[in-house]
């Protein structure tokens, strides 16, 4: 496999359990290089991943000493990626829910359209909890309003290719997007900067606990976080409305 010098797979990881090993192995099967940011995990996965990386030159594992949140872990990886000269990262979850076999297609689309962000649109099977599937429609509706229907297929799905420079700029200029508010806020703010969303389907799986499924999503805590996020994005949207409308009229996005 050729080792990319422009695009890397970035996996933020927090106490993912055993699924992380097959997730990282699958990502490596389809791409090189792959980086994992271990975000203060206490489940022994840091040691296991470091052992894997010791035998694989195209797997890099970074360890953060304390849990900082998904967005903070992605930002850590982004800073390192920029320093190493990478222009794009594909983010994917560490718990086996995202389809590693779709990595080549997403990377190929990003190479074709480097100025765009390539967004996974989840294709659910029967394993998906109805509440999560329905709940995301609310976030999607808000994200589409906040971007004047610029074409965001799914606001929450974390399987995406981002242009590194644009995402770093967005994250550096405000303190949010460090936890579960990362994915929707990133996509809305990148749209505001004129980054075009390109949607590609990606099957997603939900594993039950017996299959090794782990979720850190907490309905109350994270819905409050997402509501606050859309509140501030809505205020930002109102302030930008004249610019967004002018751009739309001029056909720029
Ligand atoms: N770095 C980091 N990643 C996290 C954290 N919480 C979740 N993640 C990542 O975000 C992904 C999605 O979180 P998860 O708990 O699986 O939520 P769900 O899939 O929406 O139920 C995980 O697979 C991790 O890769 C965290 O505190 N820090
Ligand atoms: Mg998950």
pLDDT one-digit tens code per residue, 149-165: 999 999 999 999 999 99
Write the DSSP assignment of 72-96 as a string of letters: HHHHHHHHHHHHTT--EEEE--SSS
Residue with CA nearest ligand 1 atom 12: 93
What is the CATH classification number for the domain harbouring 15? Answer: 3.90.550.10
Domain around 22 = 7-249
233 within domain boundaries: yes
Question: What are the contacts of 108-113 at 24+ separation with CB within 8 A?
Answer: 109/161, 109/198, 109/200, 110/7, 110/161, 111/6, 111/7, 113/196, 113/198
Index of the ligand 1 atom closest to the CA of residue 132:
20
pLDDT at 121: 97
Tens-digit pLDDT profile for the chain (253 aa)? 899 999 999 999 999 999 999 999 999 999 999 999 999 999 999 999 999 999 999 999 999 999 999 999 999 999 999 999 999 999 999 999 999 999 999 999 999 999 999 999 999 999 898 888 888 899 999 999 999 999 999 999 999 999 999 999 999 988 999 999 999 999 999 999 999 999 999 999 999 988 999 889 888 998 899 999 999 999 999 999 999 999 888 876 6
Q: Contact 164/85 with Cβ under 8 angstroms? A: no
Q: From ligand 2's centre to the CA of 213, what distance in Å?
A: 8
Give the span between the Cα atoms of 152 and 199, in whole angstroms: 7
pLDDT at 252: 66
Ligand 1 neighbour 14 (Cβ under 6 A): yes
DSSP state of 175: S
Ligand 1 neighbour 159 (Cβ under 6 A): no
Burial 166-183, CB ≥16 within 10 A → b, else e:
bbbebbeeeebbbbbbbb
Look-up of token digits 């791409």:
31
2 within domain boundaries: no
The closest of 199, 162, 202 to 81, measured between CA atoms, is 162
What end-to-end distance do the CA atoms of the chain give, in Å? 36
1 within domain boundaries: no
27 within domain boundaries: yes
Say what the pTM is.
0.95
176 within domain boundaries: yes
The closest of 112, 181, 123 to 153, measured between CA atoms, is 123
The residues that bridge with 199 in the sheet, in sequence order, are 119
Number of structural domains the chain divides into = 1
Ligand 1 neighbour 12 (Cβ under 6 A): yes
């Amino acid at each position: 496999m050729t080792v990319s010098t422009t695009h890397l797979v970035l996996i933020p990881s927090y106490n993912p359990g055993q699924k992380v090993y097959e997730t990282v192995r699958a990502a490596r099967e389809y791409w090189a290089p792959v980086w994992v940011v271990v975000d203060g995990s206490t489940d022994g996965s840091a040691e296991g991943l470091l052992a894997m990386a010791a035998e694989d030159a195209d797997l890099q594992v970074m360890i953060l000493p304390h849990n900082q949140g998904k967005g903070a872990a992605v930002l850590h990886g982004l800073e390192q990626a920029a320093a190493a000269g990478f222009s794009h990262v594909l983010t994917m979850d560490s718990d086996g829910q995202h389809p590693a076999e779709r990595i080549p297609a997403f990377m190929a689309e990003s190479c074709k359209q480097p100025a765009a962000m390539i967004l996974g649109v989840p294709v659910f099977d029967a394993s998906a909890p109805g509440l999560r599937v329905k709940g995301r429609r609310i976030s999607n509706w808000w994200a589409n309003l906040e971007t004047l229907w610029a074409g965001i297929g799914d606001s929450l799905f974390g399987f995406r290719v981002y242009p590194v420079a644009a995402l770093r700029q967005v994250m550096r200029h405000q303190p949010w997007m460090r936890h579960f508010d990362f994915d929707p806020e990133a996509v809305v703010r990148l749209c505001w900067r004129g980054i075009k969303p390109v949607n590609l389907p990606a099957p997603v799986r939900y594993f039950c606990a017996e299959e090794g499924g782990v979720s850190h999503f907490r309905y109350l805590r994270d819905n409050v976080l997402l509501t606050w996020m859309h509140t501030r994005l809505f205020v930002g949207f109102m302030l930008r409305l004249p610019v967004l409308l002018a751009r739309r009229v001029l056909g720029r996005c």
